[in-house]
Structure 1
Amino acid sequence: MTNPLYDALFGSHAGRQTPFLHLPDGSTITHDAFLRMAARFAHAISDLGLAAGDRLAVQIDKSPQALAVYAACAQTGVIFLPLNTGYTAAELDYFIGNAGAKLVLASPQQSTDLAPVAQSHGALLHSLDARGAGSFADLAAGCPDQFDTVPRSGDDLAAFLYTSGTTGRSKGAMLTQDNLLSNARTLTEYWRFTAQDVLLHALPIFHTHGLFVATNITLLAGGAMIFLPKFETDQIMAHLPRATALMGVPTFYTRLLDEDRFDANLCANTRLFVSGSAPLLAETHARFAGRTGHRILERYGMTETNMNTSNPYDGDRRAGTVGLPLPGVALKITDPATGAEVAPGTIGQIEVRGPNVFKGYWQMPEKTAEELRPDGFFITGDLGLIDADGYVSIVGRNKDLIISGGFNIYPKEIEAVLDAQPGVMESAVIGAPHPDFGEGVVAVLVAAPGATIDPDAIMAQLGPELARFKQPKRIVTLDALPRNTMGKVQKNILRDAYADSFSA
């Protein structure tokens, strides 16, 4: 019996002296050296009493060693649980307890706060810092650099990823080996990754984009990564001439465009720019193409599914869309009330089915039954439509839908009009309780650098473009929109902040 995930991503590189991780200090870790590090970590995990199916929670800074913990979990059959490095000890208490983690790895500075949390849940606690030092590294230092891979099947669980939990308790999405491996294989082929590719990696690795997309694809293809701890414009521009691909969130691209030094010459060696995790403005797409000659490839995925759709590698990459369903993924648009499929071009809820779709929510059978249909379709909670050519557009989250006076209002439609107004850099549209209409539209605007927003002038411009019921009843300006670590606008924070907009 084999271990499909480990064998395909890691084991296939045993003995290879090819470069895997190019680090900021100029050093390089080969595939073979990385596997030997992972094997020592696998021994340490096993020596601490963890066995296949146990959970290992990590809240550690991005580093080659952090990535080796993921590889070690795959090799031992331990379920990998990466956690956002911004979470507090109080927030981690829920994740560690809910997952039943047997071992927690944390940065040394967080370990003191986490000690009582780990103890209360009967979990072991060890440290690992950004330089690869700590009590866990000390345990592994004396271990052999070869480990007998634990047999697993494609249906065995490989990882838990917790959803952002903006509307309630976070849910632990259970991802199998086949979920991760099938998606990596599809994307590697679809985006044409080979062993000659060098991916510029500046994403966090506690999130599906940086770990299960960027890293897994590179491992499967046998390529290399320029492995940066985080996005810094100067660092990206310094390393970009060596890279063949960059994956990022929209903020990466807007910050690069803010630099006059960023031009087509800097991108001469780069064949692919991918954007995801948050919507990419059509304006950003157009500006990037005009500056560099490259059209950013936008795709659509979720914690529960990894990637579902992608604009084509060859063919029309359409701004404002997330492309076509990936091979092997079935996608349909349904009526949220009835579940019936709607006519092409009609907005409805997006449902997906395929080998990438998760197994369910950990210890939440009722929630799993609500969102995973018996026929395998997952109700994503996203609203979208499919055009005549099969391209998918996302118009928002089901929970973001505004119902005002009985009319359905889709925030993205209003945001697109607002974003096009002079002086507006970006916008977020939310609904707030209204005594007459049920909900009223609130527009939150951020001014472009050097500009001042005149709400009355904005409202005058909206008249010819939006039906009266869609027009904002209140306009607010902020210096910046609240975002999570992946760049998504946190509309739940805005809804809380402006809930009293129309109170008497």
Structure 2
Amino acid sequence: PLPPDPHATCLMIYTSGTTGRPKGAELTHGNLTANLDSLHQAWGWRADDVLLHVLPIFHVHGLIVALHGALNAGATAVLLPKFDAEQTLHMLQARRCTVFMGVPTIHRRLVNAPNAAGCDLRHMRLLTSGSDRLPDDLFVAFQETFGHTLLERYGMSETSMLISNPLHGERRIGSVGLPLPGVEVRIVHPETEAPLPDGEVGAVQVRGANVCKGYWRQPDKTAAAFTPDGWLRTGDMGLREPDGYFTLKGRSKDLIISGGYNVYPPEVELVLAAHPAVAASAVIGCADAEWGERVTAVIVVREGTAVTAAEIIAHCRRHLVDYKVPRRVRFVDDFPRNALGKIQKAELRQALCGRE
């Protein structure tokens, strides 16, 4: 057979957003090859690796990063029909797996599994986390429980992987790491798109052979997604440290402008996560006549504990400047999530904003 045309579409991944018409990102043979080659370099894939696979295979994370990564290296992939924390820990040991990829929800359940304490994972070499921000407390808890430091990385449907903490080197808490080989990343002003200096929060833009050629049958969406010189507007906010590490600050659509100040939800969520009664949190902006948007904290209370809205606000006041402190606190039993466990903030805003 003839080799595939590197410019031909070989895979269409629909974006995981919850608003508007779904967009099918057209990934070419060349896109996949470029990304798999860069991951092979960055993560040291080997033919003797054994991947335990528990992720859905209709997303970039489970299909390209995990399954294609293993196949590209000639490695072994062990697929579980569904995720179960106890079974996963058992299989990681029984099959002498070397690689495991998950999302924060999965890693949290592994840490809390009844058989976690006696789990021996010394044979493993790579455990990654992605598809949502890895909370600081989970980063530490996983390390303390299993003796492994999770490798957090950043990617999206339109590009597969972009940035990763290093396999060998500092895996920095709160950071997604350094650009993969062959990938360019820059931070620009959200309105002018002028490049910003290190340390300033702006819009994340990327460029490279891994970036999709556009959205299927949506030329207007494709044109809006790219700059004239070929940079993809990711829709994420972040900053670059002087040593090249990148930190994400959330989606641009989730940015809260309250009283003229920019509030980045992940910063508030980190403070909330430090409260002993908070099992999980999401910070959203709700329309407000006085503030423009009011910072609203949505809380899942940790089992066996109790906390009031006033106590949550007081906790935040001890750690945040005034304009970042939540003006409202809502308690819920759980969050709406997508297939990868990512909290769907658009659904939260629709359900909770305007209700008192």
**Which category of TM-score, normalised to the shorter sequence, fits these structures?**
over 0.9
- 5 Å-filtered alignment, 1:265-344, equals 265-344=119-198
Please tell me whether the aligned partners of residues 432 and 501 of structure 1 are also in contact (alpha carbons under 8 angstroms).
Answer: no
Contact 1:474 1:501 in 2 (8 A): no
Query: Which string of whole-angstrom CA distances, capped at 9 and with x for unpartnered residues, describes residues 373-414 of structure 1?
Result: 122210000001111221111110000001112111111111
The Cα of 1:501 is off from its aligned counterpart by: 4.1
Could you say which residue in structure 1 is the equivalent of 2:329?
475
Tell me how far 1:181 sits from its aligned partner: 1.1
Matches within 5 A, 1:415-434: 415-434=269-288
Letter in 1 for 2:250: G
Moved over 6 A (4+): none
Trace 1:225-304 onto structure 2 (pairs within 5 A): 225-241=77-93, 242-263=96-117, 265-304=119-158
2:14 to 162, 180, 186: 162
CA distance in structure 1 between the aligned counterparts of 2:119 and 2:319, rounded to whole angstroms = 40
Q: 1:44-66 CA distances to partner (integer Å, 9 max, x unpaired)?
A: xxxxxxxxxxxxxxxxxxxxxxx
Residue 164 of structure 1 deviates from its aligned partner by 2.3
Aligned position for 1:388: 242
Larger Rg: 1
Q: Is the 8 A contact 2:86 2:110 kept in 1?
A: no
Give 1:196's match in structure 2, choosing from 48, 52, 74. Answer: 48
SS in 2 for 1:413: helix
Q: Does the CA contact (< 8 Å) of 2:280 and 2:301 recur in 1?
A: yes
Which residue identity is paired with 1:220?
Answer: N
Displacement of 1:151 in angstroms is 4.2
Query: Going by fraction, where is helix more abundant, 1 or 2?
Result: 1
The DSSP-based 3-state class of the residue aligned with 1:225 is: strand
Q: Report the secondary structure of 1:299's partner residue.
A: strand
Q: Cα distance, 1:289 vs. partner?
A: 0.8
Q: What amino acid is aligned across from residue 205 of structure 2 in structure 1?
A: E
Q: Is the 8 A contact 2:187 2:239 kept in 1?
A: yes
Measured in 2, the distance between the counterparts of 1:164 and 1:258 equals 27
Question: What corresponds to 1:99 in structure 2?
Answer: none
Q: 1:111-150 residue pairs with structure 2 within 5 A?
A: 149=1
Any conservation in 2 of the 1:264–1:292 contact (CA below 8 Å)? Answer: no
* Structure 2 SS opposite 1:500: coil
Look up the match of 2:252.
398
The structure with higher relative contact order (CA 8 Å, sep 6+) is 2
> Where do 5+ consecutive residues of structure 2 fail to align?
none
1:171 aligns to 2:17 (yes or no): no
1-structure distance, mates of 2:201, 2:189: 8
8 Å Cα contact 2:102/2:129 also seen in 1: yes
Q: CA deviation at 1:364?
A: 1.3
CA-based RMSD: 1.3
SS of the residue 2:108 aligns to: helix
TM-score using structure 2 length: 0.97
The amino acid across from 2:262 in the alignment is N
Q: For structure 1, which runs of at least 5 residues remain unmatched after alignment?
A: 1-148
Q: Which amino acid aligns with 2:60?
A: T
Is the CA contact 2:86–2:114 (under 8 Å) kept in the aligned structure 1? no
Number of aligned residue pairs: 354
Counterparts of 1:269 and 1:455, CA distance in 2: 45
Partner of 1:352: 206
Which one of 438, 441, 454 corresponds to residue 308 of structure 2?
Answer: 454
Partner of 2:233: 379
Give the structure-1-normalised TM-score: 0.69
Superposed CA deviations along residues 144-185 of structure 1, whole A, max 9, x for unmatched, are: xxxxx4542111110111112423111111110010111011
- State the shift of 1:240 in Å: 0.4
Q: 1:430 to 1:254 in 2, by over 3 A?
A: same
Percent identity, please: 47
Q: Does 1:207 align with 2:59?
A: yes
Q: Specify the code of the residue in structure 2 equivalent to 1:152.
A: P
User: Pairwise mapping of residues 219-230 of structure 1 onto structure 2 (< 5 A)?
Assistant: 219-230=71-82
CA contact (8 A) 2:299 2:331 kept: yes
Alpha-carbon shift at residue 483 of structure 1 (Å): 0.9
The verdict on how the C-alpha distance between 1:264 and 1:357 changes in structure 2, with shifts beyond 3 A counting, is farther
